[in-house]
Amino acid sequence: MKTKQSIVLTYVLLLLLITNNWAKADEGMWLPMLIGKNYEQMKKQGFKLSPEDLYSANKVSIKDAIVSFGGFCTGEIVSKNGLIFTNHHCGYDAAASQSTPQDNVLDNGFYAKSYAEEKPIPGLFVRFLIRMEDVTPQIMTAIKGLSDQERTAKISEISKKISAEATQGTTQEAEVKDIYKANQYILFIYERFNDVRLVGVPPQSIGKFGGDTDNWEWPRHTGDFSIFRVYADANNKPASYSINNKPYTPKKFLPISIKGVKNDDFTIVYGFPGRTDRFLTSYGVQLATEKVNPTIVKLRDIRLKAWKEEMNKSVDTRLKLSSQYANIANYWKYYIGQTTQLKHLDVYTEKQRKEAEFNSWASNKPEYADLMNQYAELYKNYEPYAIHAVYAGGNGLGALVWARNVNTLATALDAQSTKKDDQTYLTGLNEDIKKKLASYENTYNEHADKKIFIQLLSSFYSDVPKSQHPAFISKLIEENPADSPQASFEKYANDLWNKSVLIRPSNVHEFWAHPNKAILESDPAYLFAKNLVPSTYIQTNFGTVISDFETRKAKLDNLYLQSLLDKNKNELSYPDANSTMRITYGKVQSYSPKDAVTYQASTTIDGMMEKYQPKNAEFDLPKSLIDAYNKRNFGPYTENGTLPVAFISNNDITGGNSGSPVINANGELIGLAFDGNWEAMSGDIAFDKKYKRTISVDTRFVLWCIDVLGGAKNIINELDVRM
């Protein structure tokens, strides 16, 4: 019998030596350092560069023009002066933070005409990948023979050691990430830049055109782009914000093609995809579709409806709540779509078929033979708690921002008393609290927040089995008698808001100006919030149910991937996405989502104008765009008498790829990836070759918005635009 270590090391060698047979050309998020194995296939599809042009640890390559943008999106360097293109929705919070009713950057758009006009965005950063390295042998040697608990601690220890040694004497940072469910480990070394400034953003009527209605849909007509610049010190090194910093000089920037795209053109998407779970079992699919996803959708819907009612009342409120609304709405629709398509494509049945095939193969292999039965038992034991677990997390009761802030104040007050002689610490603590309170105050809306609080408690009461109800929920009902549980929660909420000094921002500021532990500990909001401290809540109401499930599932997943690597050892697969740099390649490609319907591969401004609805929050357009359209003022960006807006390709992407460059066969930027399509929203769990599409904004539309609508010739002049 092969040992786990020998299987893994054999597989690592296979990664380097064999040709892809397992995954199809348009499927897969591939590690750049191994992209050479896909080269022949890429050449057949039209790729004209070399593997080293895409990734090299020692020479300049396209990977040096790709950045992790804020840790949640991707961006690309497009000029020798550190200019970055990314999506509008990736820059949404930055634009919103710079907006007031008097200077409404979000609604009106903004293009800096000089460096001096660029807007610093505190907290925003970008990271460049320097190199990656397989460190599986070091990790596996260190954990050989250890128990599960010892392994976890050892992996953390050895990963920190490897990272520290790799970056010693540099300004770089590093992390070790596991892939293939901890069957392989890769070291990633980065350079982080913390001075990033907003350079340009279109009006949100362009950048978010179509709103929630068009989100995750094709055809699409959204100008989903924004522009930033990364700054460095006089030596071109990372530095905190300073007026003396200079635009960063990159190793590499992408030229921009306005030659246009057509069906079957070769495409690469390069970026930092977040998370996929392509090896999830049928048991996990069933739990997601029947329990978890519908609950997440319900809880997000509660917040969205309450916020929307208030946002419609004033511009000021809309600006304050718009960023968090957009973030929640995006994944609200995502979970609706994922559930719909998992069912429509019958992914559960397909998973079962593959698992039956696996069981047949594993029947004479003792180490794997009982694996699916163990999964079945694991999910059977966890399923009764799945809905409660969603409520306990960030989508449910954990979404109560004021409750989190109350617990933050309590922790800070304790720290003040234990470190009362450490003035440096206390100064930093107070600054941190001030920032948190300012953020809280900016998005606080009493009508919405109270409504959300009442509805979350009411939904919890009806959805979570009574046998799992925490004692404090029952106590609230008893102490606030009314005709219904919801009426009891309404009565309690009104009392809570009126008596607490820790909910209304003005009261919180007053309390923190003269903090008093006795007042804190008797405050009704504090007494409620104490129940929601994550560790306390989980331990009190779940015991070890959740941790046992997660630990056991991780172990089974590790074994399952080990078995698949063994089973398919003459073939090649890609690992799940985990927010590390990946390359996916494919083609611009139309598709037919249903009988008698065919979607073409690109859209134009004509379609945008067909959707135009004056004064509609989702489909309004700025006068400048309408005037330019009526005059057919499309500049050099036109094609066949109109203006291209967006296109689709069959590249394999997920969240985190937002803002990723779409690159043609010559290494030129042709679009910015910003969305997936409705028919393939099951893609994070199961790739569908027939339907999976990436939606991208065409660079010609991006440049037209900057040039013709924005009049920002200074930005256009920075770019290497190729006709």
Q: How far apart are CA 712 and CA 705, in angstroms?
A: 9
- Single out the catalytic residue among 26, 68, 89, 682: 89
- State both tokens at 89: 């929705």
439: left (phi over 0), alpha (psi -120 to 50) or beta: alpha
CA angle 15, 16, 20 (to 5 degrees): 55
Of 582, 703, 723, 579, nearest to 78 by C-alpha is 703
Amino acid 540 reads: T
Q: How far apart are CA 190 and CA 68, in angstroms?
A: 10
- DSSP 8-state assignment for residue 64: G
- DSSP 8-state assignment for residue 519: H
Q: How far apart are CA 135 and CA 158, in angstroms?
A: 10
- 469 has catalytic annotation: no
Q: How far apart are CA 507 and CA 497, in angstroms?
A: 11
- DSSP 8-state assignment for residue 369: T
- Single out the catalytic residue among 658, 660, 682, 696: 658
Q: How far is CA 45 from the centre of its chain?
A: 30
Amino acid 119 reads: K
Burial class (CB in 10 A: 0-12, 13-18, 19+), 88: buried
- Single out the catalytic residue among 224, 265, 523, 557: 224
Calculate the CA dihedral of residues 458, 460, 465, 469 and round it to 10 degrees. -90
- State both tokens at 383: 């399923």
Burial class (CB in 10 A: 0-12, 13-18, 19+), 512: middle
Residues 523 and 501 sit within 8 Å (Cβ to Cβ): yes
Q: Which residues, other chains included, contact 23 with Cβ-Cβ below 8 Å and sequence gap of 6+?
A: 572, 573, 574
Q: How far apart are CA 89 and CA 675, in angstroms?
A: 10
Calculate the alpha carbon distances from 50 to 23, 24, 25, 316, 435 in Å.
21, 20, 17, 52, 48
Q: How far apart are CA 671 and CA 661, in angstroms?
A: 6
- 224 has catalytic annotation: yes
Q: How far apart are CA 516 and CA 649, in angstroms?
A: 59
Residues 706 and 712 sit within 8 Å (Cβ to Cβ): yes
Q: How far apart are CA 244 and CA 237, in angstroms?
A: 13
Tell me which residues are annotated as active site: 89, 224, 658
